[in-house]
Amino acid sequence: MGNRKNKMKKIKRALISTWNKSNLKNLLRLLEKEKVELISSGGTYREIRKLGFKCKEVSSFTGSAEILNGRVKTLHPKIHAGILSKRHNKSHKKDLKKNNFLEIDLVIVNFYPFEKILENTKNHNMIIENIDIGGPAMVRAAAKNYKDVTVITNPNQYKDLIEELIKNKGSTSLSFRQKFSKEAFIETTYYDSLIANYLNKSFGEKFPSKKIFFGNLEEKLRYGENPHQESAVYSFSKNLKTKQLSGKKLSYNNYNDIFSGLSISKTLPKNIGTVIIKHTNPCGVSINKDHLKSYQYALSCDPLSAFGGIICCNYKVKSKLAKEMNKLFFEVVVANGFAKDALKILKRKKNLRIIDASKVKKINIQNIITNFDMMLIQNPDTSQFTNKNFKIVSKKKPSSKTLKSLIFAFNICRFVKSNSIVLVKNDSTVGIGGGQPSRVDSCQIAINKMNNFQDIKDNDEIVAASDAFFPFVDGFEKLVQAGVSAIIQPSGSIKDKEIIKFANETKTILVFSKTRHFKH
């Protein structure tokens, strides 16, 4: 019993300083009942008094007035000594008595809304002023001294604190203090990470000497890529920008495919574009302006692979299209919104995951791979292409329509696992080959897909894109023999002149890209 009592800590004095002042009343009522002395400052002090509770202002408690327009309020030895003192340390007790300092047993603090300010303004001075100093300092002090002090950093934790105090008659257990100490350090770390990343971005530092990552747990997933792997999804902001409207919970693989689909669709023209994804690879893409035809053309590229995949639409889904989608089995449908009648139709399939991505914006987030206690970081390959990124090198020149098809094919190519080849007719893919060590094999796969699923006529214009240069003529020749009349590829091979020569001999249009687009 003695050991248990030693671990229980009676709350006699609490310091409360919150930006978010919601849900305080029930907690204050309990603290008053337990005869806890309250200390507070600024707006929180006024709120506590307004709610009808006794409270001592920080400046009165410390004997020092707030200065620097409120920048310095709680940064005082009487505050921090009261929080940090070890209750059973004779030297600490002696110091407190000598300086007439009092112990503080409970710290309830939440910070200036730095994250919210970032979302709402680009005013640098305003952002800097919303960096909280005193709050995190008190929280860190209380969290460090968890053996004697309880720290609460979020209004969502008030319910737990109330239950703990009622259960233990105004005291907290060591396990409770440990739990919320951990939460407090997570909160300060997250807060500091936001600030560090903002400053790095502001000052143009892409790769600082120490890289800090942060995220909010959205959901622990059933498992990872396979049932024996654990997984979870985190977001870099307070909430995911995607919103699930119906269907089963999303899996790790679902999220992975959704990310892939959104990455492609955000490079397509606004309100145009259907992407079908299977195992993160596109198996059909179309930018036909008619949304129904766009879906049908994307599906026809590889209908077998599309089975059990996900659809990502860069537009709002209407009922006519929803009816067509319901004819086949898909895991997920992602779109920039759904008409009411379309949503009703899609919801008939109770397991179909329906995702509204209308609030997802194209943002420049770094790609990260971790392994063996190391990280690889790079900028994403999602910049919009323009005609200036390419050079026509063949004698035969493309029409504006052909060049547009080539650039569309090249854009899709960079989202297919390397080595990748994409075949396009008009505004839709008709063959995709990727993930092969040999570029020639990727050519053959793309050609086989086209021959299996497309009705290609003699006068149809088929163009091809390659994510990297052809090191030899063989792959290029295979495409030409299959009916391809225009090819786009990066330059940079010692065989470039031979490729150009072969293109001219076969009267094939050849366009060089200034950049390579591997995806591993």
- Give the position of tokens 């990124």: 389
The pLDDT-based confidence of 236 (bands split at 50, 70, 90) is confident
Which of residues 360 and 320 earns the better pLDDT score? 320
Residue 40 CA to residue 466 CA, distance in Å, equals: 65
Is residue 435's pLDDT more than 70? yes
For the four alpha carbons of 266, 269, 275 and 279, in that order, the dihedral sign comes to negative
| Stronger pLDDT, 67 or 28, i.e. the higher one | 28
- Supply φ then ψ for residue 168, to 5 degrees: -110, 20
The Cα 503–Cα 491 span in angstroms is 14
Could you give the CA distance from residue 127 to residue 113 in angstroms, rounded to a whole number? 10
Residues of the chain with CATH 3.40.140.20: 241-356, 387-513
Looking at the predicted structure, is the pLDDT value of residue 363 above 70?
A: no
Inform me whether the pLDDT recorded for 87 exceeds 60.
yes
Count CB neighbours of 235 within 10 A: 14
Amino acid at 284: G
Name which of 165, 161, 177 is nearest 83 in CA terms: 177
- As a whole number, mean pLDDT of residues 169-179 equals 95
The residues, ordered by sequence, that sit 6+ positions from 232 with a Cβ below 8 Å of its Cβ are 217, 218, 219, 220, 221
**What percentage of the chain exceeds 90 in pLDDT?**
78
Report the pLDDT value the prediction gives residue 2, as an integer from 0 to 100. Answer: 43
Q: Which of 301-310, 349-358, 370-379 has the lowest mean pLDDT?
A: 370-379
For residue 1, the model assigns a pLDDT of 40
* Domain boundaries for CATH 3.40.50.1380 within the chain: 2-202
Radius of gyration (Cα) for the chain, nearest Å? 31
Please state which of the ranges 87-101, 221-235, 367-381, 412-426 shows the lowest mean pLDDT.
367-381
Tell me how crowded residue 295 is: count the other CB atoms within 10 A of its CB. Answer: 22
Catalytic, 396? Answer no
Instruction: Reply yes or no on whether the pLDDT at 237 is more than 90.
Output: no
The yes-or-no verdict on residue 230 having pLDDT over 50 is yes
User: Span 300-329, mean pLDDT?
Assistant: 96
DSSP track, 418-469: SS-EEEEETTEEEEEE-S-SSHHHHHHHHHHHHHHH----TT--EEEEESS-
- CATH label, 241-356, candidates 3.90.1150.10, 3.40.140.20, 2.40.50.1020, 3.40.50.720: 3.40.140.20
Residue 4 has pLDDT above 60, yes or no: no
Q: Which of 56, 179, 279, 396 is catalytic?
A: 279
Model confidence at 364, in pLDDT bands (50, 70, 90)?
low
Does the active-site annotation cover 279? yes
CATH topology of domain 2-202: Rossmann fold (3.40.50)
Q: What is the mean pLDDT of residues 328-344?
A: 97
Average pLDDT over residues 215-220: 88
Selected residue with higher pLDDT from 334 and 388? 334
Assess contact for 81 and 97: CB atoms under 8 A. Answer: no
Over residues 20-41, the mean pLDDT reads: 94
Indicate the average pLDDT of the chain: 92
Binned at pLDDT 50, 70 and 90, residue 289 comes out as very high
User: What is the model's pLDDT at position 239?
Assistant: 62
In the block, which residue shows the tokens 């596109």? 282
Tally the C-alpha atoms within 13 A of residue 72's C-alpha that lie toward its C-beta.
8
Catalytic annotation, pick one of 12, 21, 93, 144: 144
Predicted confidence (pLDDT) at residue 429 exceeds the cutoff of 80 = yes
Mean pLDDT of the region 475-482: 94
pLDDT at 449: 96
> What is the band of 39 on the pLDDT scale with cuts at 50, 70, 90?
very high
- Average pLDDT over every residue of 165-189: 95
Residues 6+ apart with CB under 8 A from 276: 282, 283, 284, 285, 298, 299, 301, 302, 306, 309, 310, 311, 312
Tell me the CATH architecture of domain 387-513: 3-Layer(aba) Sandwich (3.40)
Amino acid at 10: K
